[in-house]
Amino acid sequence: MLISHLVILPFVIPLAGTAIGVLLHKHWRAQAAWSLGVLLTSMAATIAVFWSVHTTGQPLIFQMGGWTAPFGISIAADALSSLMALMVQVVMVFGLIYAIGAKDAAVRYPMFMPLFLALVTGLTGGMLTGDIFNLFVMVELMVITAAALTAISDDRYGPEAALKYVYISVLASIFLLIAIGCLYIGYGTLNMADLAQRVQANPDQPTLWLGIVFLFATFMVKSAAFPFHFWQPDFHTVAPTPVSAMLSSVVVKLGVYGFMRMTTLLFVGQADTIHTLLLIIGVAGVAYGGFGALGTHNAKRMLAYSTLAQLGFILVAIGWGTPLALAAAILFTINHSLIKSALLMLAGYVASRAPIKSASFEVVQGVGRHAPWAGVLFFVGGMALAGLPPTNGFISKLALFRSGAAAGGESTWISLAIIGVLSLLSLIYVMRAFMRIWWQPRTSENKVKATGDSLLAPTCLIGLCLILGIFAEPLLQVTTTAAQWAYAPALYIQAVLVK
Amino acid sequence: MEILTSLAIGVLFAIGIYQLMRRNVIRSALGLVILSNAVNLFLLSIGAYNGIVASYSEATGQRSDALPQALILTAIVISMGTFSVALALLRVLTARYSTNDSEHLNELRH
């Protein structure tokens, strides 16, 4: 009984931490220490879940409230969800460490820490849940907390970006509710494992394709895929730095996780059409993100557009449809989270050292001369983003292109060629930012501030990038296992429905 | 009966989407409310035609499906939370930019 309760700890612990963190709102230091302790505990619980699933080879299932499977809400940690939950928790811990060391006024806001913990709850719960309506609840929790965290930003455009995000997210929630409704009419269940079984048995329901399309639209909005990407650059640029680093690295991955589940678990028979759509929007995202990043005048905005491009790579890899390609997609997801959060923290650090707190290239040009260590980290991070050895970005891009070459098929070769060429753009835009901030001399006479945010978190993240680039084998094995489990949904379905 | 409900859901969707595209931000926010009402009515229509006897009652007859009603309650509460955040944001924005016009709430550029 104790081991099966382990799987709810990754999101119940931060939720309890939020509640008590609200009580501590008048004492910022106590609140910060409490939040860090809570998040480290939940990361330990997530490591325990991940370890248990990967060493015993059995998914960890928990039925909330004791109601048996398809009637209750199941929390299911199989190889893929436990790996994604671990990625989320690790990156969020570093985000919180950065937030505690940051000089933003937004971090001192009494509700910042509880909102951050609630964001962790929503995201981890969304990754671990086995019920599509519970997914809706977790997604809504993420929307509200992310909007609130952006609205309190030091940047004066915070509320405007947050309002645009709330509008598009309400539309995405409406799509998700319509999808849940359509699937419930057709199949009578909300549990993902049960739904997978019923869809396989009876693929001729008239509302199936409606449900698939609306679910696809929801995850497109959540992962900022090409036609529904327009909220993302503004939103990720004006958020406070620790929040922006989290949003651009792990919060968008919920949409990617949703696509992985749609094509491997829920709608296996209909996966070919979904794959084709994913290829199209993925390639469009890579092109749009790459060229958009080239045209920006702001370091954080450049990194936000870069997220669009990297997510395009992941969607194309899911769209190729083989287990090897899915393993490459999962690997890319994890590595990109580490790289992007580190780069955004560094961009925010540079902005905090600049005379006015802005990441615009005119303001931060030449600030890097006073921040050499940040320059080293940004250079390594830039190499990782562009996919140069010995970083983990190289491993993930290599895995992606090799899986594409192995997948075969005409559409695969075309998309592989296009994204191969466009991946050179990431080298151009990130090195352009590095040169403007660290190599070119300052053009304005305003003084650079003596200290900025603390660099502990980006140092650890870039260190992880280097370690995972040099000792890449464990992560490769783990992601290959996760992809193999994903492509054998019978194990998941049986584990959820039998308990 | 189903026809009337479908028509009502369709009309509400149309009104909601039309309102969402209005120039005045307050009217646009009300469009969001109408859209969420339309979706809740859609969720109601999922389980409304199976029977009219409540699940807890002792009477005989076809039981109505209680699950969509739980979904609607959750969705109403969540959209209330989201809408309060949206209203707070609108309050700050309209005070800061001194305008109700969504064309002028566009200072965020490159």
pLDDT tens digits in sequence order for chain B, 110 residues long? 789 999 999 999 999 999 999 999 999 999 999 999 999 999 999 888 877 787 777 878 788 888 899 999 999 999 999 999 999 999 999 898 888 888 877 777 65
Interface contact B71-A180, CB threshold 8 A: yes
Residue-range domain boundaries for chain A: 2-498
Q: What is the pTM of this model?
A: 0.94
State the complex-level ipTM. Answer: 0.94
DSSP state at residue A356: S
Interface contact B81-A144, CB threshold 8 A: yes
Contacts of B79 in chain A (CB under 8 A): 170, 173
DSSP state at residue A440: S
Contacts of B28 in chain A (CB under 8 A): 167
Residues in chain A: 499
Strand partners, B2: none
Q: Are A465 and A335 in contact (CB under 8 A)?
A: yes
DSSP state at residue A437: I
CA distance A226 to A285: 5
Classify burial at A85, counting beta carbons within 10 Å of its beta carbon; exposed 0-12, middle 13-18, buried 19 or more.
buried
Q: What is the mean pLDDT of chain A?
A: 92
pLDDT tens digits for A3-34?
778 999 999 999 999 999 999 989 999 999 99
Pinpoint the alpha helices (H) of A192-270: 192-201, 208-222, 232-238, 241-246, 253-261
CA distance A262 to A216: 8
Biggest alpha carbon distance in chain B? 65
Q: Answer positive or negative: Cα dihedral of A66, A69, A73, A76.
A: positive
**pLDDT at residue number A499:** 67
Residue of higher predicted confidence among A66 and A310: A310
Q: Answer positive or negative: Cα dihedral of A202, A205, A209, A215.
A: negative
CA A473 distance to own-chain centroid: 22
Q: At a CB cut-off of 8 Å and minimum separation 6, what does A281 contact?
A: A220, A225, A226, A227, A312, A315
Residue with tokens 């990297």: A310
CATH of domain B2-100: 1.10.287.3510
Residue of B33, B41, B49, B78 to mutate for A, most A C-beta atoms under 10 A: B78
DSSP state at residue A73: -
Query: Cβ of A143 under 8 Å from any chain B Cβ?
Result: yes
Interface contact B74-A184, CB threshold 8 A: no
CA distance A359 to A106: 16
Classify burial at A29, counting beta carbons within 10 Å of its beta carbon; exposed 0-12, middle 13-18, buried 19 or more.
exposed
Q: Answer positive or negative: Cα dihedral of A53, A13, A453, A161.
A: positive
Ramachandran bin of A57, using left for φ above 0, alpha for ψ from -120 to 50, beta for the remaining angles: left
Interface contact A238-B90, CB threshold 8 A: no
From the list B28, B36, B85, the residue facing A174 with the nearest CB is: B36
Residue-range domain boundaries for chain B: 2-100
DSSP state at residue A262: I
Amino acid at A110: P
Strand partners, A63: A74
**pLDDT at residue number A2:** 61
Query: Cβ of A174 under 8 Å from any chain B Cβ?
Result: yes
Mean pLDDT of A279-302: 93
The distance of B56 to chain A (nearest Cα, Å) reads 17
pLDDT tens digits for A158-177?
999 999 999 999 999 999 99
Query: Cβ of A298 under 8 Å from any chain B Cβ?
Result: yes
How would you write B33-90 as a 3-class SS string?
HHHHHHHHHHHHHHHCCCCCECCCCCCCCCECCCHHHHHHHHHHHHHHHHHHHHHHHH
CA A398 distance to own-chain centroid: 21
Q: Are A254 and A223 in contact (CB under 8 A)?
A: yes
The distance of A399 to chain B (nearest Cα, Å) reads 34
